[in-house]
Amino acid sequence: MFKLYVEEMSNQHSEQALSWRKLYLSRAKLKASSRTSALLAGFAMVALVEISLPVGLPTALIMCFSVITILLIVTHLFALLVSTCILPNIEAVSNIENINAVKESPHESMSTYIELSWIASTALGILLFLLEIMVLIWIQFYENYKYAGYVATALLIPALLAVCVFAYHFYHKLVTHKYKSYNTTIDELDGLATELENNTEMHGVTLEV
């Protein structure tokens, strides 16, 4: 029947439209994580090379600085590695003027790695960056201005909590928006299929199986 044919074509176009949206979103996430990770990883490397440790610095503080710096660099290098490996393949497909080219993109099969890269760069990486700043303040002012470390810690704890709450709220809003957007697209395509079917029936056009 013509109705089944229209529904099938509508489903195909809706799947392609959603896939293209996912492709552009994945590309944007990889670009953002790549820029952020390159910047923050570079900062961590410069801090590691340029820092001068005062005499009498507690061993626990040095160990804390070493661990946080390593975690910060590894986290951002992981995000940068994923972006560098996947982004060129997505860019190549997005530049092809063919609606069916989206099937050649790895953005859906690699979606888990893309999400991990984005979360590592924008969430975990930023939290580690804030901790790095606090430890650097302790190291720089430990000898003469120890109270600066206490002030930095007192300010950083609510800042970290605020960042965590904001990240959760933002992610929840983003997921809700994506869900509503997909539902709107599907409803529009269903309405278009119904309109085509009604117009065909009005003109007396039938399609035999």
pLDDT confidence band for 3 (50 / 70 / 90): very low
pLDDT confidence band for 205 (50 / 70 / 90): very low
Return d(Cα 57, Cα 39) in angstroms, integer.
28
208 in any annotated domain: no
Return d(Cα 46, Cα 36) in angstroms, integer.
16
93-103 average pLDDT score:
75
pTM greater than 0.75:
no
209 in any annotated domain: no
- In percent, the amount of the chain with pLDDT more than 70 equals 76
- In percent, the amount of the chain with pLDDT more than 90 equals 21
26 in any annotated domain: yes
Angle (CA) 107 109 114, round 5°: 50
74 in any annotated domain: yes
pLDDT for the residue 201? 63
185 in any annotated domain: yes
183 in any annotated domain: yes
Using CB atoms within 10 Å of the CB of residue 172, give its burial: 0 to 12 exposed, 13 to 18 middle, 19+ buried: exposed
CATH number at residue 85: 1.20.140.140
pLDDT for the residue 68? 94
Residue 5 has pLDDT above 50, yes or no: no
pLDDT for the residue 107? 83
Give the dihedral sign, CA 106/107/112/115: positive
**What is the domain extent for residue 173?**
2-202
Give the chain's domain count: 1
Residue 179 has pLDDT above 90, yes or no: no
Do 126 and 97 contact (CB within 8 A), yes or no? no
- For 51-79, what is each residue's pLDDT tens digit? 888 778 888 889 999 999 999 999 999 99
109 in any annotated domain: yes
44 in any annotated domain: yes
Residue 10 has pLDDT above 50, yes or no: no
Average pLDDT, rounded, for the chain: 79
Residue 188 has pLDDT above 60, yes or no: yes
